[in-house]
Structure 1
Amino acid sequence: MALEKTWRWFGRKDRISLSQLRQFGVQGIVTSLHHKKPGEVWSVAEIREVQEEIEKAGMRWSVVESLPVSEEIKINGPRRAELIRNYVTSLQNLGQCGIDTVCYNFMPVLDWARTDLHFIDANGAESMLFDYATFAAFDIYILERPGASSDYSPEVIAKAKEINEAMSQDEKDVLAYNIIVVTQGFINGTVGNVSNYKQVFLDYLATYKNIDRDKLRSHLVMFLNDVIPAAEEAGVNLCIHPDDPPFSLLGLPRIASSREDFEWIFTQNPSLANGLTFCSGSLSVRPDNDLVGIVQQFAERIHFVHLRNIKRTTTRSFYESPHLDGVVDMYQVLEALLQEQARRIEEGRKDLRMPFRPDHGLKILDDFNRESNPGYPLVGRMKGFAEICGLELGIESAMAKQQKSVASVAGSEG
C-alpha cells in the first residue's frame, strides 16, 4: 500500500481539468469551496455538487484545503460564537458527505509569504523566493507598519534600506501587491483585490495589537475545544498546517512552527482528530526542525502530507527547489511516513490513506505558456509528483525485502 496520491485543484476556474489529473495517476483531489468566504456555512448541497463532479472523473474528494478559520476567531472578536457555530456546521456537513480530512491554519492575517514569485534558478526554472531583508524593506519602508523597525536587527534594517533605495516605485508596488494580494487571493485572502489594499492590510494588523504569542495560543485552544468534539462525532480529522515561513512576520505571533509548538498544541487537546498537516517545505526553513523526528514523534496525528523542498540562501531566506533536491532528505521523510502507514495497517486503523500531494512546483517547459496560481504550475508539479511516486515505490520495495529477510531469518532459527 502507498500513500494516497492527491493533487490540489482550484475548482472549475482551474486551468488543469479533472480529466487531465486522472490521466497521470491522481487518486484524490484536494480542494475547497472557493466561492465561499471565510465564516460562511458549507451546505451539504454545495459540498455534494463538487464531490460528485470529482467522482464522475474517477477520483474522490480526499482532503479539504482549506476550511479557513476566520480572523474573528483568531482574535476572539465579537462574532466569534456565530463563526464557531458556522464552522461546526460545515464540519458536520462534510462528515455527512464522507469527507474526513480538513486542513486549516492559524496564521494571523498573512498566510504563506514570498518576496519574489518569479525567481529563476540556476537551471532556468521559475521558482519562488523569500528574502528576509526584502521582506523587511516591504515592512519598514513600503508598508510603513508602525514600530516595524523594532522587529529587525540593525544589520537587517541596513540591508533593507539598501534594497528599498535601489527599487523603483513600480517595483515597490509590485512587491507589496504580491505579498498582500497575489499570494493570498486564491486561498481566501484576508484583504482582497481592493485599491487601498495596503491600508486595509494595516488595519487588519492593528487588530492584533494586544495579541501576543500566549494570547493567540489561548485562542487556538478555544477553537480546538469548540470544534474537535463536533469533528470527532462527524468522523472528520482536522490537521493544522505549519506556519509558512515558520517564524514571526509583521510583528505577529506564529504558533505552529516547531516541534515544541506541536507538542504544546496536541497536549492541549489530545484527541487524534486534533492532527497535523506535515509540510516538509514549511518546516525545513528552520534548520533546527528535525523533519524525520517530527514525523516519528507525531506520526499517529499526521492526516495529510505536503511534500516539497527548499534551499536556504541566508538566515531566514530560501527559495523553492526541485522536490528531490534541497535541504529535505525526501528519502528519509517518505520512509518514515510509509513506516507509519505500515504501523496503522498492523494496528487495524481505518485512516490508512495518509494522502500526500506534491506541494508547489517549479515552472518549467510548457508551464511558461500556461496561466497558473503562484506555485501551482502543471508540468513542474507533475514532475515532483512522478519523482515522489518513484521514490516511494523504491522505498516500499526495500521495506518488503527487509521484511522478507527478517521473516526468513526467524523461520530458519525456528
Structure 2
Amino acid sequence: MSYTDNNEMIADLEQTFRWFGPNDPVSLADITQTGATGIVTALHHIPAGKEWSMDEINKRKGIIEASGLRWSVVESVNIHESIRIAGSERDTYIEKYINTLRNLAQAGLRIVCYNFMPVLDWTRTDLDHRLPNNASALRYDAIALAAFDLYLLQRPEAFDEFTEEQQRKAKQYLDGLSDDDKTKLINIIMAGLPGTDEVFTMDEFKVHLKRYEHIDATVLKQNMAYFLRAIIPEAERLGVKMCVHPDDPPFPILGLPRVVSTERDLADVVNACPSPSNGITFCTGSLGANPKNDLPGMVARLGAHIHFLHLRNVQREPDGSFYEADHLGGSTDMYAVMKRIILEQQKRAESGREDISIPMRPDHGHKILDDHRYDTYPGYSVIGRLKGLAELRGLEMGIKRTLFDR
C-alpha cells in the first residue's frame, strides 16, 4: 500500500494470471507460486452464442477457489457472429448473452472482458520467433501476412490494398517457403479463439469473409453500438462491468474491418451507451502496435473507464511488423503507462470509488527456461509471464513509493 497526499491508501493493482481451464498445461498450483491472487479465465469449451449455465460457472469457480485463488475476471464471453453482422438471429443471441451475464453475476463474477474482432481473434504469423537470447516470442510479420492474403488466400481485393513493392516482397517471401512452411503459416493465421484448438480451413474462412462483404468499419461500429445498448442497461443493473478488448493487430487485415483500434474508437465505445458498466480492457500490447496511439495519454483521458489491464509490450518495425518484447522493453514506455494508471487509482481513491485495485495481468510472455518443455497455449508460458509479472510488480511499487511515500 502507498498513500496519497490526503493520507488515503492506494491499493495495489490486483495481480492476476490467465488460465485456460483444467486442460491448461499451466496448473493452478503453478500459478499460486507466481504471486498472482486472481485468475482470468472463461468456459472455453462452450461455443460462442450458447448460454453459460450456473452449474458450469460454479464448477469452474469451485476449482479455482479450492486452489486458494479467486476468479477475478471472465475473459472472454465471446460474441456470436450473428451479432457482429446484424444477422436475423442477433436479438436471440443477445438475449442468450444477457442470460450468461445474469448467471455470472449470480455467481459473484462482476468483470467481463469481450472483443468485437470479426471472425479471428488476435493474429500472428510466427509463434516461435527466436530472440537473440533464444527466448521464443510471438511475431506479426507484415510481409508474411501479405503473402498469405495475396497468394494463399487469393483474396482479389488484396491486390488493390498492397503496393507493388509490398506485393513483390510478399511473392519473394512466399517463394522462399516450403510446402510445410506454407501449411504452418496458414494454420497459424487461421487459428480460432484462444483456449481452443479450432483452425479454420481456407474454404470456411472465405465463407466468413463473404458475410462481411458489405460491412465496413462504419457498419460494424453501428452493430457494436446496437449490442451495447442492448446489454449495458442490464449489466449495470447486475453490477457487471463490461470491458472491450482492443483489436489485435489494431488495423484492418484480410479485408476485415476493425473498430476498437484507436483512442477515438475507445471513446466511441464508451459513448455508445454511457454507463459505469461500459468500459475498457486496456491492452498495451494491442494498442501499442499502432505507433499513432499515445498510450499514457489514453490512460489519462479514458482512465475512468478502464476496468481491466493487459500489460505487455511489442517492438514495432518500420513496415508494420512487430514482435512481443520484454514487458518493460519494446516500443511502449511502460513506466509512463504505469504512472498514469497509478494516478488514475489516486483519482478513484479521492473520489470515493471502490474499484481502485484494478485487475492486471502480464500478457503474452516469452517462452524461456523450462517453458520450452511444455506445450502451452501461444503466449501463455508460465515462467515468461512470471518474469513479466515480477517486473510489473516492481515497477508499480517503485512508482508508488516515489509518488506517495514520505
Tell whether the 8 Å contact from 1:309 to 1:326 is kept in structure 2 after alignment. yes
Displacement after TM superposition at 1:351 (Å)? 1.7
Native 8 Å contact 2:124 2:138 kept in 1: yes
CA contact (8 A) 1:311 1:319 kept: yes
Deviation at 1:80, TM superposition (A): 0.8
Q: Is the 8 A contact 2:284 2:312 kept in 1?
A: yes
Residue 314 of structure 1 aligns to a residue whose secondary structure is coil
Of 106, 110, 114 in structure 1, the residue corresponding to residue 124 of structure 2 is 114
8 Å CA contact 2:278, 2:305 repeated in 1: yes
Check if 1:19 corresponds to 2:29.
yes
Name the CA distance, whole Å, in 1 between partners of 2:53 and 2:128: 38
The answer to whether structure 1 residue 263 and structure 2 residue 267 are counterparts is: yes
Equivalent position to 1:320, from 308, 324, 340:
324
Counterpart residue identity of residue 4, structure 1:
E
Give the equivalent residue in structure 2 for 1:353: 357
Question: Which stretch shifts more, 166-175 or 143-152?
Answer: 143-152
Distance 1:186 1:288 in 2: 27
Q: CA deviation at 1:350?
A: 2.0
> How big is the shift at 1:20?
2.0
Identity over the aligned pairs, expressed in percent?
45
Query: Secondary structure of the equivalent of 1:108?
Result: coil
1:123 corresponds to 2:133: yes
**Are residue 226 (structure 1) and residue 230 (structure 2) matched?**
yes
Structure 2 counterpart of 1:335: 339
Deviation at 1:185, TM superposition (A): 4.7
CA distance in 2, matches of 1:3, 1:136: 39
Q: 2:293 is matched with which residue?
A: 289
Provide the secondary structure at the position in 2 that maps to 1:306: strand
Deviates more, 1:2-11 or 1:388-397: 388-397
Contact 1:75/1:219 (<8 A) preserved:
yes
Q: In 2, are the aligned partners of 1:69 and 1:106 still within 8 Å (CA)?
A: yes
The equivalent of 2:282 in structure 1 is 278
Residue 8 of structure 2: aligned partner? none
**Structure 2 counterpart of 1:175, one-letter code:** L
**How many Å apart are 1:330 and its aligned residue?**
1.0
The TM-score, its normalising length taken from structure 1, stands at 0.93
SS of the equivalent of 2:317 reads strand
Match of 1:408 in 2: none
1:28 and 2:32 aligned: no
Q: Give yes or no for contact 2:15–2:37 (8 Å, CA) kept in 1.
A: yes
Q: What is the distance in 2 between the residues matched to 1:102 and 1:81?
A: 20
Give the drift of 1:110: 1.3
Q: 1:68 aligns with which of 66, 75, 78?
A: 78
More helix per residue: 1
On the 8 A contact 1:37/1:188 being kept in 2, the answer is no
Q: TM-score, normalised by structure 2?
A: 0.95
Separation (CA, whole Å) in 1 of partners of 2:343 and 2:387: 24
Q: Which amino acid aligns with 2:366?
A: L
Change (3 A) 1:229 1:141: same
Residue 173 of structure 2 is aligned to residue 163 of structure 1 = yes
1:217 aligns with 2:225: no
Q: Which runs of 5+ in 1 are unaligned?
A: 405-414
Distance 1:310 1:82 in 2: 39
Structure with more relative contact order (C-alpha pairs < 8 Å, separation 6 or more) = 2
How far does the alpha carbon of each residue in 1:6-31 deviate from its partner, in whole angstroms, 9 at most, with x for none? 00000000112112211221111000
Report the Cα distance in structure 2 between the residues aligned to 1:262 and 1:312, rounded to whole angstroms: 22
Distance 1:58 1:109 in 2: 36
Please tell me the residue identity of whatever aligns with 1:385. Answer: L
CA distance in 2, matches of 1:126, 1:110: 23
- Residue type matched to 1:314 in 2? P
Count residues in correspondence: 396
| 8 A contact 1:7–1:29 mirrored in 2 | yes
1:144 aligned onto 2:177? no
Which residue number in structure 1 is paired with residue 194 of structure 2?
A: 186
Partner of 2:3: none
Specify which of 245, 248, 261 is matched with residue 249 of structure 2.
Answer: 245
RMSD: 1.3
